[in-house]
A = this chain, B = another copy of it.
Amino acid sequence: MMDRGRLEAFSDGVFAVAITLLALDLAVSGPGHGHRSLLQQLGAQWPVYAAYAVSFFTIGVLWVNHHSLFGQIAKVDRTLLFSNLALLLFVVAIPFVTSTLAAYLQEGGQDSHVAAGLYALVMEGMAVSFTLIFIHAVRRDLLIRTMTPAEARAAIVRFGVGTVVYLAVLGLAFVSAPAVLAVAALITAYYIFERVPSESEPDPVA
Chain A interface (Cβ within 8 Å of chain B)?
A: 1-4, 6, 8-10, 12-24, 26-28, 30-31, 37-39, 42, 53, 56-57, 60-61, 63-64, 67-68, 71-72, 74-78, 81-82, 85, 88-89, 92-93, 95-96, 99-100, 103-104, 107, 110-111, 114-115, 118, 142, 192, 195, 198, 201, 203-206
Are B93 and A23 within 8 A (Cβ)? yes
| Distance of A38 Cα from B64 Cα, bound (Å) | 33
Q: State how many angstroms separate the Cβ of A155 from the closest Cβ of chain B.
A: 16
Are A27 and B68 within 8 A (Cβ)? no
| Distance of A206 Cα from B56 Cα, bound (Å) | 32
Chain A binding site: helix, strand, loop or mixed by DSSP? helix
| Distance of A68 Cα from B78 Cα, bound (Å) | 11
Q: Looking at the complex, which one of B3, B18, B37 makes contact with A110 (CB distance below 8 Å)?
A: B37
Are B15 and A95 within 8 A (Cβ)? no
Are A26 and B142 within 8 A (Cβ)? no
| Distance of A51 Cα from B4 Cα, bound (Å) | 29
Task: List the B side residues contacting A78 at CB < 8 Å.
Answer: 64, 192, 195, 203, 205
Q: Looking at the complex, which one of B1, B14, B103, B114 makes contact with A206 (CB distance below 8 Å)?
A: B1
Excluding A19-B92, A53-B89, A57-B85, 4 further A-B contacts by CB distance (< 8 Å) are A2-B206, A22-B92, A30-B103, A38-B111
Are B27 and A75 within 8 A (Cβ)? no
